[in-house]
A and B are shown apart, each in its own frame.
Chain A
Amino acid sequence: AQSVSQHNHHVILSEAASLELGCNYSYGGTVNLFWYVQYPGQHLQLLLKYFSGDPLVKGIKGFEAEFIKSKFSFNLRKPSVQWSDTAEYFCAVSNTGFQKLVFGTGTRLLVSP
């Protein structure tokens, strides 16, 4: 069965620090990869997605992620975080066939001003 691991459960950073959140998945076939963000009290919003092509994808709000197939990883990065980036970040995977998103357990990011 597919699974997604996010090893950082809680991350605390100061503003302007760089961010990298890890995401690893277990599935041998072709996958689509997503990062969603959930701001406090709000719904999930798509940050970025990878379907094919350039493994370095850029998303909204200065976020980017790199798909490394050999490592089954899709880590999220941002060079300089802001206080407004405080949120829960979810990595998700879907495979061929019917689209069923499998989510990681999420990483809670707290950015202190």
Chain B
Amino acid sequence: DTAVSQTPKYLVTQMGNDKSIKCEQNLGHDTMYWYKQDSKKFLKIMFSYNNKELIINETVPNRFSPKSPDKAHLNLHINSLELGDSAVYFCASSPAQTRSYEQYFGPGTRLTVT
């Protein structure tokens, strides 16, 4: 059983395009996250949603817009893609928004902007 799934796994696109990455979790968790892992493997949180409400929004360009249609899904839409957006994007979920729970990560989406 897949706990946290992401689609697509690979995404190659040109600068200026708009793309979306989807994330779904079947763990019944209330909180979901998006992380970005750059080419040096550095991981940084981008967004966090709890029960469809945005609770963490790090300093991310407003070209990035998360959308949570329900608490099991957190999609990431990126407008006007730039070369610097190339990275691996990880979705994660946890049972609740407090610190006392580990996060479960999806397999990642490798985005390449050419």
Contacts and interface: CB of A to CB of B under 8 A. Distances in A.
A51 B48 contact: no
Contacts of B48: 98-100
Tell me the dominant secondary structure on chain A's binding face.
Answer: strand
Q: For chain B, which range describes its interface: under 10, 10 to 19, 20 to 34, or 35 or more residues?
A: 20 to 34
A43 B107 contact: yes
Nearest to A49: B102
A99 B106 contact: no
A64 interface: no
Contacts of A43: 90, 105-108
Contacts of A103: 42-44
A99 B90 contact: no
A90 B44 CA distance: 12
Most buried by B among A36, A96, A97, A100: A100
Contacts of A95: 99
A32 interface: yes
Nearest to B108: A43
Interface of B: 31, 33, 35, 40-45, 48, 55-56, 90, 92, 94, 97-108
Q: Which 9 A-B pairs have the closest CB atoms?
A: A44-B105, A103-B43, A99-B99, A94-B99, A43-B107, A106-B41, A43-B105, A32-B99, A46-B102
Given A43-B90, A99-B94, 8 more contacts: A32-B100, A43-B106, A44-B43, A44-B90, A98-B56, A98-B97, A99-B48, A101-B33
